[in-house]
Amino acid sequence: MGVCYERKGVLCALLLVFLSLLALSIADDAPPSAQVSPSAACNDTTDPTFCRTVLPPRGSSDLYTYGRFSVARSLDSAQRFAGLVDRYLARHRRLSSAAVGALRDCQLMSELNVDFLTAAGAALRTTDTMLDPQTDDVHTLLSAILTNQQTCFDGLQTASAAWSDRDGLAVPIANGTKLYSLSLSLFTRAWVPTAKPPKHGGSKNPHHGHGGGKKPPAAANRRGLFDAADDEMARRMAIEGPEMTVAVNGVVTVDQSGAGNYTTIGDAVAAAPTNLDGSTGYHVIYVPAGVYEENVVVPKHKKYIMMVGDGIGQTVITGNRSVVDGWTTFNSATFAVVGQGFVAMNITFQNTAGPSKHQAVAFRSGADLSAFYGCSFEAYQDTLYTHSLRQFYRGCHVYGTVDYVFGNAAVVFQDCTFFSRLPMAGQCNTVTAQGRSDPNQNTGTSIQGCSLVAAPELAAATAGYRTLTYLGRPWKNYSRTVVMESYVGELVDPTGWMPWSGDFALDTLFYAEYNNSGPGADTSRRVSWPGFHVLGSGVDAGNFTVTSMVLGDNWLPQTGVPFTRGFVTST
């Protein structure tokens, strides 16, 4: 720029500021393929100062190259952190049980992060110009990596009272989080369109919006649920209408009496094929009516499993783990699924620990492309942990008290009923506690065409007992929840939403309501937070439909679960 002489100092200084701002503006407006300096590439990331310590300090390149470089650095960091966690666990004999539990959660999270970054890096190496659904796939993986890191950190924080050594992991976790956030920032700048066209069309009939995505490829061993040789099995697995035909590559039965293929659900999951890709259909596990006292985990390599029961209240999977009894929130789940493509139908999942045991999860899903139809999730605090990735729930019941739908998935609920229960004295009910921690994550909770009502015990107590119920509160800084086209019962407080603590996240969260009905739907007395919105147009609300929020047109048809692409009511 040259040197400013003293007598021209003010003018020169102003000129330098102008030129600097102009350079920044040009860099920001430049296409991703344009050559920019590392410093300019860092301008719009979540932490520009940190970004400049990561990118190569010299030369210029395009955003695609910087994005790939950052993902490669993130993968190296994830691998090193996974090794560090393994070393801590190797000396677990001198660790508390709380520390071991938190570290095992971190071990799983770090393994998944290595898998996700490997997959993301491979996808980014193939092309500069990705289109949906590939762009959404990578965006989802990079979002989930931050969620996994946060889950590890939260668990270690909870265990800290019994374990001072966790401080040795604090710096690696913090540095990893900043690096993963940088990768997500650069990815969204380079590969994600800045203005996606609104995708809010499609069927408006809530019962017949069975989307039009690609069907699974034909295979020699493919058969439909309604084409099964065993007519009785086909009858039991029939859910709704002739459109519910699903590709199946095998069916096994769990029977506690020994008359089936397996006597426990856990054994049936363990014996399921490994790493199915969905092209030959689902491996179906039929669980007849009965009460199954099991804690079940569907691990990451057990993919495209479909579990079918005999109905809500008929097939019941139950457990009672809780944080008070020494489990992490993550591992308190009665049923947990990680394997991609999991589908559950006609099953009740319970955690019977009760409200006095605080966090006690009935079901946890960290399975991408997972879907649930005609299921019930029953507990008190932290009932349904929609942990990460893309999920869809249709015609389900969810019972709980505090934060009873929580997590950081991209998730849509349609035609579901949320039953707020009677909490402990002094507690409020909060339906959601969404955990989005980074502004570039494509996550959030969409409640569409649902009902939010009091459970029978709460309804019976209202005559002499006042329990405040709220639509949600912000678990993390960028918490995002939308309630739209739903019936909101009178139990919901007129303010609608509850703060987490003081003014935490009130200006960074995104909470919205659109076209709701019922005595609790009046928005005239809602909170006045900067992050709360009453959506006034279908275009805005359309971003939270199945088509936009989870790209459901691309994967839900093969699950057999009915869904509505766009709005469920006429607009």
Q: Which residues are known catalytic residues? A: 403
341 Rama class: left (phi>0) / alpha (psi -120 to 50) / beta: left
**What are the structure tokens assigned to 450, written together?**
């649902």
Q: Could you write out the DSSP letters of every residue in 263-295? A: SSHHHHHHTSPSS--STT-EEEEEE-SEEEE--
Enumerate residues 6+ apart whose C-beta is below 8 A from 473: 403, 430, 432, 433, 479, 497, 498, 499, 500
Count of Cβ atoms closer than 10 Å to residue 531 Cβ: 18
**Residue 253's closest CA among 264, 240, 241?**
264
- Angle among Cα 554, 559, 277 to the nearest 5 degrees reads 75
Measured distance CA(246)–CA(558) in Å, rounded: 6
| Residues linked to residue 344 through DSSP beta bridges, in sequence order | 307, 372
For helices 97-126 and 167-191, give the axis angle rounded to 10 degrees. 20
What angle in degrees, to the nearest 10, is found between the helix axes of 63-90 and 97-126? 150
Q: Which two tokens stand for residue 169?
A: 């992991």
182: its two tokens: 């940088």
The answer to whether the beta carbons of residues 412 and 443 sit under 8 Å apart is no
CB 375 within 8 A of CB 347: yes
- Residue 378 Cα to chain centre, angstroms: 19
Backbone conformation region of residue 227, classed left if phi is above 0, alpha if psi is from -120 to 50, else beta:
alpha
Distances, alpha carbon 114 to alpha carbons 110, 144, 513, in Å? 6, 12, 37
For CA atoms 53, 55, 59, 63, give the dihedral sign: negative
Per-residue tokens: 377:
């999730």
DSSP string, 299-352: -TT--SEEEEES-TTTEEEEE---TTTT--TGGG-SEEE-STT-EEES-EEEE-
For 267, counting Cβ atoms within 10 Å of its Cβ (0-12 exposed, 13-18 middle, 19+ buried), the class is: middle
CB under 8 Å to 309, separation ≥6 — which residues? 286, 287, 288, 289, 315, 344, 345, 346, 347, 348
Both tokens of 206, joined, read 């809530």
